[in-house]
């Protein structure tokens, strides 16, 4: 399920660092409440020896200007944020916090909730069209000859891209206790040109792609993708997609 949130600033503008994912992530965790946020962040939901956060959030959507000289982004007026999770308790905490809170802080910006809309896109077929609201990131940790690890990001067209997309969704389905078709996996086929992105996060760089995809696979796995994000690093602001035309 997805919550579409519209925030209105106390002033006419919202100024943030250009790479603002950590600030939005902090807000999303804060809206969970301290106990649930601590559990999701520190323990998570288990798939084998993996710990999954099982939530995703979009980029901030609105009118903006970028100042590359001082690495800031300035939004004019309202901004929209989409958050998603397949976990009922997370959705409930978000909704309760938003209703009971007069304002939220995003960095140094004081924002008030202007609108909230609940979207529950239901996947009924093995073929859907999705639009990224935050970039899809797919990676694997590899090792050099000297044993030093490094992160290798993959793009659509490389065989590892859909292999890792499928494996990630299967892990999420397992954590949710779903009986999904894990044999055929999921394929994301680009529809049109994709836009690459580089996001600085905690001293590193995360690569991703944005655009429209045809998503093919088990409807249960596609549903997991819409509710928990496609690809990796969803809780850091990657992989939230909306149903195209839905």
For 17, 72, 73, 107, 198, the CA distances from 66, given in Å and listed in that order, are 10, 6, 4, 17, 15
Q: How far is the C-alpha of 70 from the C-alpha of 92, rounded, in Å?
A: 38
Whole-angstrom distance between the N-terminal and C-terminal Cα of the chain? Answer: 13
User: Rounded to 10 degrees, what is the CA torsion of 200, 67, 103, 100?
Assistant: -40
Mean pLDDT of the 188-204 span? 95
2-119 and 127-243 share one CATH topology? yes
Provide CB contacts within 8 A for 9, sequence distance 6+. Answer: 75, 77, 78, 79, 109, 110, 111, 112
**Rg of the chain taking only CA atoms, in angstroms:** 18
- pLDDT exceeds cutoff 60 at 8: yes
- The DSSP string of 167-230 is HHHHHHHHHTT----TTT-EEEEE-S--EEEEEEETTEEEEEEESEEEEEE-HHHHHHHHHH-S
Per-residue pLDDT band for 200 (boundaries 50, 70, 90) equals very high
Higher-scoring residue by pLDDT: 137, 11: 137
The CATH fold of domain 2-119: Alpha-Beta Plaits (3.30.70)
Mean pLDDT value across residues 180-186: 72
Residue 163 in this model has a pLDDT that exceeds 60: yes
Asked whether residue 146 carries a pLDDT value surpassing 90, the answer given is no
pLDDT greater than 80 at residue 196: yes
CA angle 126, 123, 33 (to 5 degrees): 135
Q: How far apart are CA 193 and CA 175, in angstroms?
A: 33
- Closest-CA residue to 161 (of 128, 192, 197, 186): 186
131, 242 Cβ separation under 8 angstroms? yes
pLDDT of residue 242: 97
Q: Which helix (H) or strand (E) holds 90?
A: helix 88-100
Q: Which CATH class is domain 127-243?
A: alpha beta
Show me where the domains of the chain are located.
2-119, 127-243
- Amino acid 56: pLDDT: 98
């Amino acid at each position: 399920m997805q919550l579409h949130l519209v925030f209105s600033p106390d002033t006419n503008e919202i100024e943030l660092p250009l790479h603002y994912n950590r600030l939005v992530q902090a807000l999303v965790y804060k809206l969970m409440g301290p106990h649930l946020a601590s559990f999701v962040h520190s323990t998570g939901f288990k798939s084998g020896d993996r710990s999954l956060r099982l939530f995703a959030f979009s980029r901030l959507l609105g009118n903006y200007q970028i100042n590359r000289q001082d690495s800031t982004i300035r939004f004019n007026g309202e901004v929209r944020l989409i958050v998603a999770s397949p976990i009922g308790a997370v959705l409930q905490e978000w909704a309760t916090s938003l209703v009971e809170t007069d304002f939220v802080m995003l960095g140094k910006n004081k924002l008030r909730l202007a609108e909230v809309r609940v979207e529950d896109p239901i996947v009924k077929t093995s073929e859907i069209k999705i639009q990224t609201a935050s970039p899809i990131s797919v990676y694997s940790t590899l090792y050099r000859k000297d044993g030093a690890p490094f992160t290798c990001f993959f793009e659509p067209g490389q065989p590892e891209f859909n292999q890792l997309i499928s494996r990630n969704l299967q892990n999420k389905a397992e954590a949710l206790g779903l009986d999904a078709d894990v044999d055929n996996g999921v394929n994301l086929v680009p529809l049109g040109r994709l836009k690459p992105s580089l996001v600085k996060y905690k001293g590193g760089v995360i690569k991703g792609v944005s655009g429209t995809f045809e998503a093919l696979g088990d409807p249960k796995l596609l549903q997991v993708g819409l509710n928990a994000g496609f690809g990796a690093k969803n809780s850091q602001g990657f992989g939230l997609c909306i149903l195209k035309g839905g």
